[in-house]
Structure 1
Amino acid sequence: MEALPPLNALRAFEVAGRYLNFRLAAQEMGLTQGAVAQQVRLLEAHLGMPLFERHAKGLAFTSAGRGYHAAVAASFDGLRAATGVLRPEPEKVLISVTPAFAAKWLIPNLPSFSERHPEIDLRIMATEKLSSFHSEGINLAIRQGAPPFGAALEAVCLFRQEVIAVASPNLTAAGTLPLSASALAKLSKLHDGHDLWPQFLARIGVEDQSGRGLRLNQVALAIDAAISGQGVALVPRFLVARDLEAGTLLQVTDQVLEGDKGFYLLTEPRKKRGKAVEQVRHWLVDMSDQPDIDRK
């Protein structure tokens, strides 16, 4: 049986043939340009014929090299496919969430998920618009609202609507908290797309005396503006839990605005969920703040 050419040399030839450039091949392989060129020369010596024509601007196949490269590349593709059967890629799960939920809760908690499920490739689609499970390939979605969300979807409340007023310690001294209703009325307000300030101020019996304030279209932006000391924001408590614990934000009044528009985990019926999707769902449920939630 005729001996095979050196496998390292074959690999160098396969990569160099894709780029027709030793420098680019070296970058992919993590070698020096000279090392790749040397491996190709070893292969040419083993075969007794040139495989490349060397030019100042790169490489060109010889007639023999072109045909040989096609066969070598096909062989490496076959090896990759066979290896993939034994060691499949991580299962992919696509979750659609709002930008605020992604920035202020999901991404900060991802290390916990990766530690528990390193085999799952969790992909995040941050968008305000409703996503389609079918046309966009969504496996899970998290949206703020109130049921029903559709007969074809299962909905589990992860976080109830509990809105609080928060501000930077630089905006108000901690010793003066909680603020009186009149003091809160005078502070600059940060408004987002939910426009909850009129309802919140009416609840405590005052009118806004701070002017127009800053208007933003996303809760995450209002949170960032509050952290930078630009005003008081009304935000879901769970989205700022880390900031409250770290002291970068303070709850400025004990008043809480509650409602039925919680953050819900939406999934397709159980029979259509794969193992990886089910594991992501279980993690989200475990991380929720609802003690009576169905964790099965």
Structure 2
Amino acid sequence: MRYKGPLPSLNALRAFEAAGRRLSFRAAADELGVTQGAVAQQVRSLETRLGFPLFQRQRRGVILTERGLGYFSEVHRAFEQLTAATDVALSRKRIVTVSVTPTFASKCLIPNLPAFAIVHPDIELRVLATDAVSDFERDGVDLAVRLTKPPFPLGQAAEFLFSDMIVVASPALVSGYPLPLPLDIISNLTLLNDGQAVWRNLLGERRVKAELHINQAALAIDAAASGQGLAMANRIFVAEALRSGQLMQVVDDPVETDVGYYLVVPKIARGDAATVSVSKWLRQQAVP
């Protein structure tokens, strides 16, 4: 049944949307530039108008009630649409911020950003390259690509992208060895360890002669290309080096691992058109 009365005030809806998104009256007040009491008063007036509670007040912040969550989803979507409409009217680009690991940024995103700009001239893509787990609200992140595994936090939707780890080396390093490399030979070569490589899953209890520890997968891949050792890397990250001949796969089968790269997005943002476009593009970058 369509509501025929006057709509709640815009200030009350803005206060509710900010509080529902941040789950804190204080954080909402800071965002809106008003006092915490003003936010609480606007929310109370909205609850009185609607005739049901929107939040459960807790010692640390607030949580949405079941009916409050349903109302919040629609109000949040309405504000997103208003923002998008205003951007179009003012010919402004929609900014989408993506948080990704440094290796995903350097091997998958950065080389393809010019092509993205051509296809999506209305979207300004901002890349935040970090291994730290981003807070979507605090850091202003719309999407994230993370090396992780289930379960995932409530309020987030995660889509698996890839996990296949392969062993690679420069052709010069393995010249003269039988291919694929036997495990006993692998254990006697220098192994590049970036914290993601799972050499034990491949070698079992064999003793390793030498390891070189490097704190980024991209650097380990570069070290392997220069002949400094064997690297274990996701296939997507070494695809170009394999095509160019800088690297070659020296073990036939992928190495099993219990983590993978996932595309993570807040559930409340899944319907935003710009976010959907960037999500689709990110999936395309995850294909070798």
TM over 0.5: yes
The answer as to 2:207 corresponding to 1:207 is yes
Equivalent in the alignment of 1:105: 108
Give the CA deviation at 1:285.
2.6
Cα RMSD after superposing both structures: 2.3
Equivalent in the alignment of 2:182: 180
Equivalent in the alignment of 1:150: 153
CA distance in 2, matches of 1:265, 1:237: 17
- Per-residue Cα deviation, 1:230-256 (whole angstroms, up to 9, x for no partner): 000111111111111111111111142
Distance 1:147 1:174, change over 3 A: farther
Equivalent in the alignment of 2:93: 90
- Per-residue Cα deviation, 1:52-98 (whole angstroms, up to 9, x for no partner): xxxxxxxxxxxxxxxxxxxxxxxxxxxxxxxx875522211100011
CA distance in 2, matches of 1:112, 1:149: 32
**2:165 and 2:233 in contact (8 A); partners too:** yes
Give the CA deviation at 1:217.
1.1
Equivalent in the alignment of 2:59: none
CA distance in 1, matches of 2:197, 2:161: 22
- Please, which runs of 5 or more residues in structure 2 have no aligned partner? 1-86
Q: Which runs of 4+ in 1 moved over 3 A?
A: 84-87, 270-273, 286-290
Give the CA deviation at 1:146.
1.0
1:246 to 244, 247, 252: 244
CA distance in 1, matches of 2:127, 2:269: 23
Equivalent residue letter for 1:144: L
Equivalent residue letter for 1:148: P
1:193 to 175, 195, 202: 195
CA distance in 1, matches of 2:269, 2:194: 38
Equivalent residue letter for 1:156: E
Find the residue that maps to 1:130 and give its secondary structure: coil
CA distance in 2, matches of 1:223, 1:197: 15
Give the CA deviation at 1:129.
0.7
Which deviates more from structure 2 when the two are superposed, residues 259-268 or residues 193-202?
193-202
Equivalent residue letter for 2:234: P
Give the CA deviation at 1:207.
3.0
Give the CA deviation at 1:164.
1.0
CA distance in 2, matches of 1:178, 1:162: 17
| Corresponding pairs, count | 202
The answer as to 2:134 corresponding to 1:131 is yes
Which deviates more from structure 2 when the two are superposed, residues 247-256 or residues 264-273?
264-273
What TM-score do you get using the length of structure 2 for normalisation? Answer: 0.64
Equivalent in the alignment of 1:219: 217
Sequence identity percentage: 41
